[in-house]
């Protein structure tokens, strides 16, 4: 384990003014995205879409890294392997390594993320292909009587994954996502998020994970989509930063928020308000998927003649989010 290199990479992943693009949609998920524009997912179409994003002129000004899917990391752009293409632009390539969430036996409504079997070997392969970091997502569902066992189960998996990553000299992005799909208030989200992060960091420490070589990818503290009272951006920012100050160790170099179903504008404004709060011990950045890509996807619509306009749309959103990450309004 090269601890110095892990720390250096983690810091570069949260470089000033930059964030991480989550372009790691599974085959099933990217088809859901393509359904919006009436497109059928296949390896070439998926690559065409991601090529549109990755080749956007100047996007490296706003992106420190990109999370890839297994299919994508094995593909090429203009004859160059995707990880090398990104690295040549100064963008750090990473890889999603979990196998997705499934029902947790005996606990209805709760999920557990799979993918630990054989993970050590897969991480070594990805590292040999140029990946510098990895990502593992765990989902925590809020509902009647839940979450329950899923917090501890997923925290243990996240810790084991993180330890294996660092052993392979990959920085682990640890992503415990409290979903915003229910009717819970902001206060309930705060309680569940706090509990989740406490357990996650407890397990990370138990597995001797080097926190200076970890990036946290959490949800913001936000009202459930179905809640009758939706918290405003200032309230979201205050609750988020206060909660993290209570439970996230200062050794962690950075927090890259997920957008979690927020609209691009909501995710941008909330990040802006979070970064207006002074004296945070971490870099407070972003690792957005749909909130960065969604507008460009609809403009692109699978058509070559739309590429320039789609890239312009993508660049404009990336710039807005970059400014928000610096506490600057666009």
| Gap between the Cα atoms of 297 and 225, Å rounded | 23
| Phi, psi of 80, rounded to the nearest 5 degrees | -115, 130
- Per the structure block, which two tokens stand in for 138? 């765990």
| Gap between the Cα atoms of 307 and 51, Å rounded | 10
Query: CB count, 10 Å around CB of 4?
Result: 10
Q: Is 18 strand, coil or helix?
A: coil
| Catalytic one of 18, 96, 135, 217 | 217
Q: Which residues contact 10 (CB under 8 A, 6 or more apart)?
A: 133, 171, 212, 213, 214, 215, 253, 254
Does residue 217 have an active-site annotation? Answer: yes
Residue 198: C-alpha distances to residues 157, 205, 217, 229 (Å): 15, 11, 14, 27
| Gap between the Cα atoms of 81 and 74, Å rounded | 7
| Gap between the Cα atoms of 289 and 22, Å rounded | 5
| Gap between the Cα atoms of 223 and 182, Å rounded | 9
CA dihedral 210, 214, 219, 221 (to 10 degrees): 50
Does residue 175 have an active-site annotation? Answer: yes
Is the Cβ–Cβ distance between 155 and 196 less than 8 Å?
A: yes
| Gap between the Cα atoms of 249 and 85, Å rounded | 34
First to last CA, the chain: 41
| Gap between the Cα atoms of 282 and 250, Å rounded | 7
| Catalytic one of 175, 177, 266, 273 | 175
Q: Cα 82 from chain centroid?
A: 19
Active site (catalytic) residues: 175, 217
């Amino acid at each position: 384990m090269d601890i110095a290199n892990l720390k250096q990479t983690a810091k570069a992943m949260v470089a000033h003014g930059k964030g991480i693009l989550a372009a790691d949609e599974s085959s099933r998920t990217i088809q859901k995205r393509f359904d919006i524009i009436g497109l059928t997912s296949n390896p070439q179409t998926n690559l065409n879409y991601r090529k549109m994003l990755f080749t956007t002129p100047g996007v490296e000004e706003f992106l420190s890294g990109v999370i890839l899917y297994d299919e994508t990391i094995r593909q090429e752009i203009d004859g160059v392997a995707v990880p090398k293409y990104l690295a040549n632009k100064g963008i750090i390539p990473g890889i999603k390594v979990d196998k997705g969430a499934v029902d947790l036996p005996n606990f209805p409504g709760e999920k557990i993320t799979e993918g630990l079997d054989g993970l050590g070997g897969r991480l070594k392969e990805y590292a040999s292909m140029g990946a510098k970091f990895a990502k593992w997502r765990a989902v925590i569902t809020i509902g009647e009587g839940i979450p329950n066992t899923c917090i501890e189960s997923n925290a243990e998996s996240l810790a084991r994954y993180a330890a294996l990553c660092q052993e392979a000299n990959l920085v682990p992005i640890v992503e415990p996502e409290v979903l915003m799909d229910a009717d819970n208030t902001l206060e309930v989200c705060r309680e569940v998020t706090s509990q989740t992060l406490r357990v996650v960091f407890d397990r990370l420490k138990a597995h001797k994970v080097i926190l200076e070589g970890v990036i946290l990818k959490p949800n913001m503290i936000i009202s459930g989509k179905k809640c009758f009272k939706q918290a405003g951006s200032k309230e979201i920012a205050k609750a988020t930063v206060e909660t993290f100050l209570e439970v996230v160790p200062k050794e962690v170099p950075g927090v890259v928020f997920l957008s979690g179903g927020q609209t691009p504008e909501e995710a941008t404004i909330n990040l802006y308000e979070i970064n207006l709060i002074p004296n945070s011990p971490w870099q407070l950045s972003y690792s957005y998927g749909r909130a960065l890509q969604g507008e460009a996807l609809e403009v692109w619509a699978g058509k070559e003649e739309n590429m320039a306009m789609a890239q312009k749309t993508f660049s404009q959103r990336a710039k807005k989010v970059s400014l928000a990450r610096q506490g600057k309004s666009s």
